[in-house]
Amino acid sequence: MNEIRRNLPIDQQIDILKRGVVDLVSEDDLRRKLTRSIETGTPLRVKLGADPTRPDLHLGHAVILRKMRQFQDLGHTVIMLIGDFTAIIGDPTGKSKTRPPLTLAETRANAQSYLEQCKLILRQEPEVMELRYNAEWLEPMGYADVIRLASRYTVARILERDDFTKRLAGGVPIALHELLYPLTQGYDSVALHADVELGGTDQLFNNLVGRALQRDYDQEPQVVMTLPLLVGLDGTEKMSKSLDNYIGLTDEPHIMFSKLMKVPDTLLENYFTLLTNLPAEQIQALLAGHPVEAHRELARHVTRDFHPDADLDAALERFQSVAKGGIPENIPSFTVLKSDATPEDTYPAARLMVTAGLESSLGAARRTIQGKGLKVNGQTFLDPQGALALPEGGLVIQKGKDKFARMLPES
């Protein structure tokens, strides 16, 4: 990722930090804080709170992590706040019903994977990176402390939140602990003396609560910046692993490249703006040209950020080969044990998928086959209970567009 010079004029810094931002509360406050930071040599404290409910990150998460990196490159300290304690409550944001809470152990296990993936984008030097867990100040709070915190905000203001309003109107229960969530998240900003808080657009309400609580605790209110939720490869909903419309931060280079080549044309500008540092005029020039060339440039820029040593020409050739119905040359091979064979000396297709790591379980493999998601030597295989003979040279199985494995019989 390109390094941004720390001595840029304030206006240029503001332009960099505003890129892709949806809500900025407020630009005047940000300008004042940046100016004071330069004058005093004191870096801003930029907070991002994350409840590690899922351990895997995708390019949707990268949007906000890239904004953190921009603050780092301008000389400021970003605070990766792991909401190990708030995840126990369960963030009700965007939920139509109460979310099942996690245990403290579950959130901390997820956090380790989360943090390892964040290293793909964020700098790790202590002067620009601070890691905190909110159980540090929330777990010791007693009942009286919680009551005092609750007294600083009204029920009417909490119920202004859109998802609470909809649930009330629909007669869907709201548990009392859910009403405490925005207050708890807001108190994190007080505990950290945050100058700026980043979040997705769905976190605007919670982050503004933090701004209000800081005033109440006689702190200077934080600047709130929200980033859009990246639309997934289906072009209709936000990127999500559960919707299988995602590009993972740890995807292999050829997988990431291939998926980026399939971004809907209508989303190209959005992806260029949020996931690259290309100047706006260069983006517009690419969009004015042939869409295939624009896709190639997007795929090259984004994949290179995560895999700087990858052979992107080879990734492009692989994508073109697969797009024409071909099978790439360099695919992983797996030896199938004779003990896995049926009495007819064949091998269950579902078990081959699990052996190759294309699915995690036999049930998942059978569902993939039933959904026409498996090809054998380029031909769709449709029998979830079916089995395959393995010739001496083996055969190639394929899940989806670009996941291949060569299955070889045990010699």
The domain boundary residue, chosen from 323, 342, 360: 323
Nearest to 256 by CA among 237, 275, 228: 275
Claim to verify: residue 205 and residue 354 sit in the same structural domain? no
- Write down which residue in 272, 291, 323 finishes a domain: 323
Q: Which two tokens stand for residue 182?
A: 């925005």
CATH number at residue 174: 3.40.50.620
From residue 57, alpha-carbon distances to 94, 142, 205, 223, 232 in Å are 19, 34, 23, 25, 13
> What is the largest distance, in Å, between two alpha-carbon atoms of the chain?
80
The model's pTM: 0.79
> Strand runs (DSSP E) across 55-148, as ranges?
77-82, 129-133
Q: What 3-state class would DSSP assign to 344?
A: coil
Please report the pLDDT score of residue 1 as a whole number: 47
- In one-letter notation, the amino acid at residue 271 is Y
pLDDT at 4: 52
The Cα–Cα gap between 299 and 152 comes to 48
Q: Which two tokens stand for residue 159?
A: 């119920």
Q: Which residues are CB-neighbours of 341 under 8 A, at least 6 positions away?
A: 347
Are 76 and 19 part of one and the same domain?
yes
50's enclosing H/E stretch is strand 45-50
Per the structure, the complete domain to which residue 387 belongs is given by 333-409
The domain boundary, picked from 187, 211, 227, lies at 227
Q: What is the pLDDT of residues 38-69, one digit of tens each?
A: 999 999 999 999 876 666 789 999 999 999 99
| Residue-wise DSSP of 345-405 | S-EEHHHHHHHTTS-SSHHHHHHHHHTT-EEETTEE---TT-EE---TT-EEEEETTTEEE
- Co-location of 309 and 351 in the same domain: no
Q: What is the pLDDT of residue 383?
A: 94
CA distance 240 to 64: 15
241 annotated as belonging to a binding site for a ligand: yes
Query: Same structural domain for residues 405 and 267?
Result: no
165 and 67 both lie in a single domain: yes
Element (H, E) at 205: helix 204-216
Q: Do residues 206 and 316 share a domain?
A: no
**Are residue 203 and residue 339 in the same domain, yes or no?**
no
Taking the C-alpha atoms of residue 3 and residue 407, their distance in angstroms, rounded to an integer, is: 44
DSSP 230: P
Does 371 fall in a domain? yes
> In this structure, are 200 and 317 located in the same domain?
no
E-only strand ranges, 90-222: 129-133, 196-200
Domain presence at residue 247: no
* Nearby residues of 187 by Cβ (< 8 Å), 6 or more positions away: 137, 138, 149, 210, 213
Residue 107 within any structural domain of the chain: yes
φ, ψ for residue 58, nearest 5 deg: -135, -175
| Residue 119 burial (CB count, 10 A) | 11
State the CATH number of the domain containing residue 385: 3.10.290.10
Other beta carbons within 10 Å of 152:
16
Residue 232 lies in a domain: no
Per-residue pLDDT in tens (0 to 9) along the chain, 411 residues: 445 566 889 999 999 999 999 999 999 999 999 999 999 999 999 999 987 666 678 999 999 999 999 999 999 999 999 888 877 665 555 444 444 566 767 777 777 778 888 889 999 999 999 999 998 999 999 999 989 998 888 888 888 777 788 888 888 888 887 888 889 899 999 999 999 999 999 889 889 999 999 999 999 999 999 999 899 998 888 888 777 789 999 899 999 999 999 999 999 999 999 999 999 999 999 999 999 999 999 999 999 999 999 999 989 988 888 877 777 777 889 999 888 888 888 999 999 999 999 998 999 999 999 999 999 988 899 999 999 999 888 899 999 877 889 999 887
User: Do residues 88 and 102 lie in contact, with contact meaning Cβ atoms separated by under 8 Å?
Assistant: yes
Q: Is residue 37 part of a domain?
A: yes
**């909110």: which residue's tokens?**
134
Instruction: Tell me, yes or no, whether 3 lies in a domain.
Output: no
Whether residues 291 and 363 fall in one domain: no
Sign of CA dihedral 35, 41, 45, 46: positive
Domain count, the chain: 3
Terminal Cα-to-Cα distance of the chain (whole angstroms): 47
54 neighbors 248 (Cβ within 8 angstroms): no
- Tell the residue number behind the tokens 């007080």, with chain if given: 190
Measured CA to CA, the distance from residue 268 to residue 275 in angstroms comes to: 10
Asked whether residue 309 falls in the same domain as residue 390, the answer is no
The answer to whether residues 221 and 304 belong to one domain is no
Residue 328 lies in a domain: no
Asked if 41 and 143 sit in the same domain, the reply is yes
Asked whether residue 360 is domain-assigned, the answer is: yes
* DSSP for residue 338: G
